[in-house]
Structure 1
Amino acid sequence: MTLLEHLRELRTRLFRASIAIVLGMIVGYLLSGHVLAILQEPYCQLAQKLELQHNNGVLPADWRCGFVALKVTDPLLLKLKISLWVGLIVSAPFWMYQLWAFIAPGLHRNERRWAYVFAGLAAPLFAGGAVLAFIVVSKGLEFLVGFVNPETQIMLEAMSYVDFVTGMMAVFGVAFEFPLGIMLANIAGIATGKRLLGWWRIAVFIFFVFAAVATPTADPFGMTFLALCMSVLYFGAVVFALVNDKRRNRNRPSYAGIGDDEVSSLDDYEVEPVEAASPIDGYDQIDAPTPVAAPTAVDKPRPLDSRYDDFT
């Protein structure tokens, strides 16, 4: 295919993926109320707990869990934002297939096999990170709200709360994709498993720094959970790299690591002594070879006029 044909195909793939996302947003718009109820569940449980503590274990009859909208357009924007998130998740199989259909023709068979592995691991890892972030949100809210005066009534703003929860889920999900990058570097031959294992102290330190900067909360729970999960996934990727290096070295020939202009090492070369040859039986009975006859002289060629045959 020419460059223009590739661009046309890319335009077609993007258009189909956009249509799928729009259809997913319609489904998300219909389910936005239920999704919002799930997202606000940690906040409602915490608010109910604080209300019971404030009223000596009695929950008022008119109490309800709600958010505060600071702008007129906030309810609509909140609904559209939730619809977009749901639409991306619902339509993920289709738009990921469009992306794969555009890339796959340019890959070799071995590269396609590894791409299937990465695609199969990417979605569960992202989902696991998002679920863990949703669990950490409740602990983070309880820690942050613990600094508020008991006489103060807490009413969170809807847009900021949804951004807080979805931001945590996105950060945890993307962070859980880090082991795939390590596996890709090992498969490409950039980093060996032994070298990755030697970097574990630096890696764990970087994970804690990243978790402290990336998590939108100031509590230690979210940072610690994210850093520990990333460390566990890192060591899992190191185990994969060690196994892959062992398999690769088993299939490599002995001369694979020697350059064209490099002399092989003779340190481990063992020289076997050559024993004296045993005499051949009956050698003395063999007749001596006859001498070759001396060469005979070559006759002088006749002149050209006397070399005619019967036809010439």
Structure 2
Amino acid sequence: MALSDHLRELRARILKSALALTVGFVVALIFFDPIFALVEGPYTSAQDALGADNTQATTNGVGGPLMLYLKLCGLTSLIATSPFWLYQIWAFILPGLHANERRWTRIFVSIAGPLFLAGVLLGYLTLPKGLEILIGFNRDELLNLVDFNDYLSFFSRTLLVFGIAFEIPVFVVMLNLAGVVKGRTLAAYRPWIIVGTFVFAAAATPSADPFTMCFMAGPMILLFVISEVIARYNDRRRDRGRINAGLSPDEMSPL
């Protein structure tokens, strides 16, 4: 294809994605109340667990309620239509890939998608406890006003961080398949990787409480161990395919 044809195809896929996002935004406006209840759930759960009335969700300014509608519906549309616009990106890149690259990409996409959703779900389930710990530092004689627009940003960052964290083992396996990282290297640096995982979880979680940090680091370590097992198996499979595998530089190969 000529460059102009690529640009026309890119424009068509961008327009399709924009149309899907617009339709998703309109649908989110129609179902705003249940979406709002879903997002507000972790905050109300934390509020009930504290059993205190010294915290209250608010919107600030004249345009605060409108911004809440726009941000929440926009975020909902972005998430709900992600399979469509991600497919548009994939369909634009696909013709430039070789057959084996397409096969591996399909495998990783089928694994990365459920892992990301699992991370988002875990983030949503642990968010009430993180909010409870953070709001619990508020003194009884003070009223804690939570701007819901800020809470929405905090909510989306938490779920996004959890989702991305669950993708790290996928990238480890990709690096192993590319020959960049060996399984035995991962095993040698396993203690440092575990420490680094906890440091990453402590820095990445917006709530910065030990409960949320452990809930992120624990599954990440488990997924890393699984990726290490896959990497070591792939290394053995790769070595069996080589005639001179395991020979030292001083040994002569059968050839």
Q: TM-score, normalised by structure 1?
A: 0.74
What amino acid does structure 1 have at the position aligned with 2:34? Answer: H
How big is each residue's C-alpha offset from its partner over 1:109-164, in whole Å with a ceiling of 9 and x where there is no partner? Answer: 21111111111112211111111111121111111222222343444211111111
SS of residue paired to 1:130: helix
C-alpha RMSD of matched pairs (Å): 2.4
How big is each residue's C-alpha offset from its partner over 1:52-92, in whole Å with a ceiling of 9 and x where there is no partner? Answer: x67xxxxxxxxxx9621111111111111111221122212
With a CA cutoff of 8 Å and minimum separation of 6, indicate the structure with the bigger relative contact order. 2
Q: Is the 8 A contact 2:47 2:132 kept in 1?
A: no
SS of residue paired to 1:67: strand
C-alpha distance in structure 1 between counterparts of 2:121 and 2:192, whole Å:
27
Q: 2:235 matched to 1:233? A: no
Q: 1:46 aligns to what?
A: 46
Q: Is the 8 A contact 1:186 1:241 kept in 2?
A: yes
Kindly state the Cα deviation for residue 255 of structure 1 after the two structures are TM-superposed.
4.3
C-alpha distance in structure 2 between counterparts of 1:257 and 1:95, whole Å:
46
What amino acid does structure 1 have at the position aligned with 2:149? Answer: M
C-alpha distance in structure 2 between counterparts of 1:37 and 1:46, whole Å:
14
Q: 2:8 aligns to what?
A: 8
How big is each residue's C-alpha offset from its partner over 1:199-248, in whole Å with a ceiling of 9 and x where there is no partner? Answer: 21221122111111111113111112112221111111111111212222
What are the residue-to-residue correspondences of 1:299-310 with 2, within 5 Å?
A: none
Q: 1:146 aligns to what?
A: 136
Q: 1:211 aligns to what?
A: 201
Q: 2:126 matched to 1:136? A: yes
Q: 2:159 matched to 1:169? A: yes
SS of residue paired to 2:62: coil
How big is each residue's C-alpha offset from its partner over 1:15-72, in whole Å with a ceiling of 9 and x where there is no partner? Answer: 2122112211222222222111111122223323444x67xxxxxxxxxx96211111
Q: 2:212 matched to 1:222? A: yes
- The structure 1 residue matched to 2:237, chosen from 240, 244, 247, is 247
Gaps of 5+ in 2: none
- The structure 2 residue matched to 1:159, chosen from 149, 153, 156, is 149
Q: 1:291 aligns to what?
A: none
- The structure 2 residue matched to 1:187, chosen from 177, 185, 189, is 177
Q: 2:61 matched to 1:27? A: no
Kindly state the Cα deviation for residue 178 of structure 1 after the two structures are TM-superposed.
0.8
Change (3 A) 1:160 1:243: same
C-alpha distance in structure 1 between counterparts of 2:156 and 2:110, whole Å:
23
SS of residue paired to 1:209: helix
Higher helix share: 2
- The structure 2 residue matched to 1:202, chosen from 182, 185, 192, is 192
C-alpha distance in structure 2 between counterparts of 1:49 and 1:264, whole Å:
68
Gaps of 5+ in 1: 55-64, 270-312
The share of aligned pairs that are identical, in percent, is 38
C-alpha distance in structure 1 between counterparts of 2:57 and 2:112, whole Å:
34
Q: 1:86 aligns to what?
A: 76
Q: TM-score, normalised by structure 2?
A: 0.90
Q: Is the 8 A contact 2:202 2:213 kept in 1?
A: yes
Q: Is the 8 A contact 2:50 2:136 kept in 1?
A: no
C-alpha distance in structure 2 between counterparts of 1:10 and 1:188, whole Å:
29
What amino acid does structure 2 have at the position aligned with 1:90? Answer: A
Q: 2:86 aligns to what?
A: 96
How many residues align structurally?
253
Q: Is the 8 A contact 1:67 1:157 kept in 2?
A: yes
